[in-house]
Amino acid sequence: MAILLILACGDDENNPQGGGTNPSASVLTASVTGNTASLIWTQCPDDDFASYVLYRSLSSGIAANPSTATIVATITTQGTLTHTDSGLSWNTPYYYAVQTVDSSQLTAWSNEATITTADSSGGGGSALSCYEIQGQADESPYNNDEVTVTGIVTAAVDEFYAGPDSLERHFAVLGDPAGGEWSGLILFGYEDDLDNLDRGDSVVVSGKVSEYYGLTELVVSAVDFEEAGHTIPAATSVPTGEMSQEKWEGVFISFQNITVTSDPNQYGEFYVDDGSGDAMADDKGMYGFSTSEGTTYSEMKGIVFYEYNEFRIDPRDENDITQ
């Protein structure tokens, strides 16, 4: 999830240089990806603009007591409207505020925005999020790179079929804590490498990013940190007609009020529709499931895979399907 700091600066153009009223107060919003904050704001139109000063604190009340906060950046170019604040501590709330300054040193504070970094204390500054690995593109910008990734396990080892048991291959799925677009990543590995990852584990994993026939996955070499008992990101509700997009690959999603529009084929694949268009569903989950054309379900949850040139939702078990 990216942090957005949106500032609406005051227009002081009618005031003479060197005097007048303070700039208008700014409006600020925020969110976070992993332990990195990405900041964006609108341009201040004042002729006597001097700087944007970005403050960060571990406690609220920056405007009332700015001496307790850290100045993250002082930006003197009026058209520079972004800043990235990286290397933050894990599982930590941060508060941000922006002070707009004019040439007479008159100032105005934005409201205060807060974020909390991901809850993987073993990650360190080098761990990436699923969002960063996905790169908002068909191919990951980290393809073929050795990386370290942090997130919450949304599908456990052995919940999806990965081949005969004799091959000892396994899938698990990782999600960013807030869920949403580009927030998932398929993990692939062998028995010793995936370390029996379970739903709700907060983890840091290392491995090589691979584009396996169009599916972005992490071939795991080691689980560096694992802590059980965390909250799984909520399934993101997606219309069936909009599922077949790269941004949902690896993401835990849900369909609402769907009808099965085809009988399952020999591979267990069938189509469902909520009125917005067909989406493929599959039985990759390690459970017994049968259905038929015309059957309706109030909800179907699952992980989006990409195989054989088609996106499909794969429920993890029978509890992901509600009649």
Q: Which tens digit of pLDDT belongs to each residue from 65-101?
A: 999 999 999 989 888 888 878 777 767 888 988 998 8
pLDDT at position 248: 97
pLDDT at position 15: 43
pLDDT at position 6: 44
Low-confidence ranges of the chain (pLDDT < 50): 1-18, 120-125
CB 218 within 8 A of CB 149: yes
Q: Domain spans of the chain?
A: 1-117, 130-224, 236-322
pLDDT at position 193: 77
Q: Which CATH superfamily is domain 236-322 in?
A: Bacterial OB-fold (2.40.50.200)
Q: Which CATH number fits domain 1-117: 2.102.10.10, 2.60.40.10, 3.30.390.10, 2.40.40.20?
A: 2.60.40.10
| Cα gap 320→253, rounded to integer Å | 10
| Shared fold status for 1-117 and 130-224 | no
pLDDT at position 18: 46
In CATH, what is the architecture of 130-224? Answer: Beta Barrel (2.40)
pLDDT at position 240: 97
pLDDT at position 118: 63
pLDDT at position 34: 61
